Structure 1
Amino acid sequence: MAEPAVERPEARPGRLARIRGGLPRTGLAVLCGLLLAAAFPPYDLWPLSILAVAGLSLLTRGRTARQGAWTGFAFGLPFFLWLLSWLRVIGLDATIGLSVVEALFIAALGAGLAATSRLRAWPLWAACLWVTQEWARDRLPLGGFPWGRLAFANTASPFTPLAALGGAPLVTFAVALAAALLAWAAPRLRGPRRAPRAAALAGAGAVTALLAGYVVPVPTAAADTVKVAVIQGNVPNPGMDFLGRPMMVLNNHASATERLAADIAAGRAERPDVVIWPENSSDLDPFSVPEAHQRIDQAVRAVGVPTLVGTLVDGPDNQHVQNEGIVWDPTTGPGASYTKQHPVPFGEYVPFRDQLSKVITRLQRVARDFYPGTHNGVMQLGPARIGDVICFEVAYDEIVRDTVNQGGRVLVVQTNNATYAKSGQPDQQLAMSRLRAVEHGRAVLIAATSGISAIIAPDGSVVSRTQELTPAELSAVVPLRDARTVADKVGAAPEWALAVAGLLACGAVVVGGIRRRRSGGTPVEAESLTPVVQ
């Protein structure tokens, strides 16, 4: 009878030694993840996005897929924990849970980066894989969560104009390509013979990717204009209980509009063509609460121009509500409306409610689920044909693009950031809106209950903005545009092409490995980080 196998004494120390040997790499991955977080608002240190991505490329270079996945996770988790720290008002568990889910996508990216580093032209495939990762994360799970895209850290950088050609995915690709080329060049700077020349060539490619946006024309001309007023009425208390007593938020916005009307009557201000109120500016359904209807109508009649009002209205049944922007005419009252198409999971609806609410009692605060809208936000508001999107929808490419392609001449972002006041989240959403302005060549009007409200020109520059937690009113004359950018015309084609290219590169590595195993060969080693002396 055979003796049972006995684990060799040296096996355990060897495993521990491998773990200890990987700690420096893990620590560097954590550092790079934190650098990437600092590239985003409210810090806006966009060059760090190139440094962080280059660092991840080097750390996964020539590693196994498993090592690359762990390095990617070590990079992604601290990145999302810092980037999404504004979720702490909901709960630490929400911050950690969402960060872990999002970091798993970066782990898959890390495995792909490690695998494709064995291919020729690997910086190109690395850049494609960043788009692949964002493509998946923007859609999965439960409709996806696009926060943290490289493009959203580069909304005021030399890469930004590329959005007018291929949207946010092309900006991400250019950032990642510049970073991967620098990662390829760095080890060659001190190499013999041709290595410095190769490094210089890669550096030139990175600079070209960096400066490519300067040759992209951003169309800003307009056939006509519209005079707008954006109302920020503020809320009683920031945080989860921002609404205060019923009618308080509505009264804040109605009173601010009436003050504007008084200034117009006294000659201190010019009458706008339209007025924009934010998401949830009415905290009660004006169709079921007569006092709310009367208060809105009173304020709109006072200012005398069509007003876009944000409110929650009863849904098709007693288990649902709808988050709407309603065109309110001073003569005829409420008219056309837009219902938010993409409610936020766990914030505006609870997936698997019956099961999860028993375990997470805090979910019971979401008493009714938001019912999603079925059409885009293109509406006629006075003389302006607007494209309305509500809050987090500005992060989703197809929702914003659809409003432009269907005739929106100016983009409106109605938002309620009161829950996340002074947390950095309003700054991040402002940055996304700046990118959308360039991507679609449209002025963007942000109306927020408590800030940040802003008026953004078609070139992405901020014309004016408010401070947070302060009642305010912004006025400006903005262009109304009909022309569409290249990004509008090509739609999601660049994203799909780049994402599929990344997947095909990974597929080529897998197929090559299978063929080598069947032929009895050994895996092809990655190109050395140190140039070989010929």
Structure 2
Amino acid sequence: MTTLDRDETRAPVVVRAASAGLPLRVAVPVAVAAGVALLLAFPPYGWWPLAPVGVAGLAVATHRRRLRAGAGLGFLTGVALFAPLLAWTNLHTGLLPWVLLSLLQAGYLALLGAATAWVSPVVDRWRWAWPPVTGVLWVAQEALRDRTPFGGFPWGRLAFSQDESPLLRWAWLGGAPLVTGVVAVAGGLLVVGGWRRWSAPEGVWRPLAGVTAGLLVLVGVGLAVPTGAGGGGRSVRVAIVQGNVPRLGLDFNAQRQAVLNNHVDATVKLAGQVAAGAVPRPDLVVWPENSSDIDPLRSAAAGARISAAADAIGAPILVGAVLSGPGAGEVRNAGILWRPGTGPDLTQMYTKRHPVPFAEYVPMRSLARMVSSQVDRVRADFVAGVAPGVVDAGAVVLGDVICFEVAYDGLVRETVDGGAQLLVVQTNNATFDVAEARQQLAMVRLRAVEHGRAALMASTVGVSGFVAPDGRVSDATGFNTRAVVVRQVTLSQGRTPATRAGGWPESALVGLAVAALAVAGVLRRRREVTVAG
């Protein structure tokens, strides 16, 4: 046989294998539907079983496609997910920030789509590799998105869609990255069962039984995983004060005195109920982020008002305050412990370590101004703190994070490593809506399970509430209302497997993703050599 004859006999086989993906006219709506399915898995919808369906849809749409097509399809999935998921970002700031952020986040799913297309030879050769390969690629994509640019934006991680799911308990073993991996593995199992026909010897029932068994194992392990960290048993009584604001929107800052008064008045009213014997005295009171945007360390009047509230309730108050300095034109977003009788305890103060770029500070301001003059609405840049949010309130050691920081694995974990017995999230949702607040509460639920700690979220306008170490929510408040909730909380001091493992589960899964991409490269090279030969 001549070389030409040999090429002619092999080439058609290669072409058929490469073109066996979904027709583009089908892949495009499948990719969009995948994004919609992922969206519906998150709060406020909460249809968590759709997360694996969305993962499967993206995998099927991008399989056996060129890298450029895979990236384009992944981008469509990303836009369908992130544009509506992040719609709360345009409520008071206009369309541009929302559009830019949504497109940026969709770009990471474009990379995932290209990577999924790239590994097609791996899952074609070993069909049962589809679940683990899908799982590690999703973890790797989120690891990159969580860190870049400007420290990343972890909103919309698969793990945060599982707050009502038995898969949430996988967080106890390996944190948010493992939960994301498990959800994506479930999606890969769906693809295994549904992609093309099985060969005659295998039939259809045996592989479907394997897929079903795999899904049941993922759910079963989740149900069997214990919760809590042990080493506790002591309890404290904690009050959350949700003072509310006169008006939602960016101009809540113009209402600084009213917001502070709301939180003082609600606390004083609680003190009256305590004095009357209607409510037990709390050991700690938690105010939300921005409860005092008047610097209480520089304003004697603001400090006096907070001291009056602390003296009335007879318990320390964790105050969310905006503090001036340290430099000119700089401010700090802080949680500061205010003790009855003595006032602010400057040794027990946490400064937010991850200010939000373009919202709390503006990187490359002169360049950003060319895109939009809206960046100058951020007049003073927030300065990042350097120490974990470990606050010793006497009766309890708190692990404090502020607002979006709850989405970052390391920031929460470092408070537990520092001895935190209760996780606290101080947040201000006055510039957003109830969907954003519920998405944030889902993150608090995951952190509670991950570290085996009771947790709470204190918001200016809601949603505020307590979370048990198994992820259950208690005493959740309404949105845009004034509320005070008091609850007895059991403390924990032990460490879960996830806390002990730290960042290693994510690193290991990312390493496996790199290995899968490398194996795909080898298989592609061999195919090219075969075709050329």
Q: How does 1:348-359 map to 2 (within 5 A)?
A: 348-359=360-371
What is the TM-score when the length of structure 1 is the normalising length? Answer: 0.91
Q: How big is the shift at 1:216?
A: 1.2
Q: In 2, Cα distance between the equivalents of 1:439 and 1:150?
A: 15
Q: Secondary structure at the match of 1:465?
A: coil
Partner of 2:291: 281
Q: CA deviation at 1:77?
A: 1.0
1:160 alignment partner, SS class: helix
Query: Is residue 2:81 matched to residue 1:79?
Result: yes
1:207 to 203, 213, 216: 216
Alignment of 1:229-248 (within 5 A): 229-248=239-258
The DSSP-based 3-state class of the residue aligned with 1:195 is: coil
Shift of 1:303: 0.8
Contact kept, 8 Å, 1:451 with 1:466, in 2: the verdict is: yes
Say which of 419, 429, 433 aligns to 2:444.
Answer: 433
Which residue is equivalent to 1:346? 358
Q: CA deviation at 1:497?
A: 0.5
In the alignment, the residues of structure 1 paired with residue 246 and residue 59 of structure 2 have an alpha-carbon distance, to the nearest angstrom, of 47
Out of 363, 371, 384, the position equivalent to 1:372 is 384
For the residue of structure 2 that corresponds to 1:214, the secondary structure is helix
- Partners of 1:189 and 1:252 lie apart in 2 by 64
Residue 266, structure 1, aligned to residue 268, structure 2: no
Matches within 5 A, 1:364-513: 364-422=376-434, 424-513=435-524
Kindly indicate whether residue 330 of structure 2 is the aligned counterpart of residue 328 of structure 1.
no
User: What is the Cα deviation at residue 381 of structure 1?
Assistant: 1.0
Say if 1:195 and 1:61 are closer, same or farther in 2 by CA, change over 3 A.
farther
- The amino acid of 2:271's aligned partner reads A
Query: 1:446/1:69 Cα in 2 relative to 1: closer, same or farther (>3 Å)?
Result: same
Q: Which residue of 2 aligns with 1:529?
A: none
- Structure 2 residue matching 1:325: 3-state secondary structure: strand
Q: What is residue 263 of structure 2 aligned with on the other side?
A: 253
Shift of 1:500: 1.4
What is the deviation of 1:57?
1.4
Unaligned runs of 5+ in 2: 1-21
How far does residue 359 in structure 1 lie from its aligned partner after superposition? 4.0
Shift of 1:191: 5.8
- Given that 2:229 and 2:494 are in contact with CA atoms closer than 8 Å, whether structure 1 keeps it comes out as no
CA distance in 1, matches of 2:53, 2:453: 31
Residue 455 of structure 1 aligns to a residue whose secondary structure is strand
CA contact 1:234–1:252 (8 Å) conserved in 2: yes
User: Quick check: 480-489 or 121-130, which moved more?
Assistant: 121-130
Deviates more, 1:504-513 or 1:409-418: 504-513
User: Is the Cα contact below 8 Å between 2:256 and 2:292 reproduced in 1?
Assistant: no
Other-structure match for 1:28: 30
1:223 maps to a residue whose letter is G
Whole-angstrom distance in 1 between the partners of 2:256 and 2:142: 40
Secondary structure of residue in 2 paired with 1:322: strand
- CA gap 1:188/1:204 in 2 versus in 1, 3 angstroms: farther
Q: Displacement, 1:92?
A: 1.3
CA separation in 2, counterparts of 1:187 and 1:370? 50
Q: Displacement of 1:289 after TM fit?
A: 1.4
Alpha-carbon distance, 1:155 to partner: 1.6
Percent identity over paired residues: 46
Mapped partners of 1:371, 1:165: distance in 2: 34
Deviation at 1:332, TM superposition (A): 1.2
What is the match of residue 3 of structure 1? none
Structure 1: segments with no counterpart, 5+ residues: 1-19, 525-534
Structure 1 position 21, deviation (Å): 5.6
Q: Which residue of 2 aligns with 1:15?
A: none
1:515 positional shift: 4.9
Aligned-CA RMSD value: 1.7
Contact kept, 8 Å, 2:33 with 2:57, in 1: the verdict is: no
Q: Normalising by the residue count of structure 2, what TM-score does the alignment of the two structures yield? A: 0.91
CA distance in 2 between partners of 1:169 and 1:80 (Å): 19
Which range moves more in the overlay, 378-387 or 341-350?
378-387
Normalized per residue, the structure richer in helix is 2
Report the alpha carbon displacement of residue 66 of structure 1 after superposing the two structures with TM.
Answer: 2.1
Q: Is the 8 A contact 2:229 2:496 kept in 1?
A: no
> In structure 2, what is the equivalent of residue 11 of structure 1?
none
How far off its partner does 1:65 sit? 2.0
Residues 27 and 62, structure 2, Cα contact 8 Å, conserved in 1: no
Deviations 1:216-275 (A, max 9, x none): 111265330111111000011111112343411100000000000111111211111111
Residue 8 of structure 1: aligned partner: none
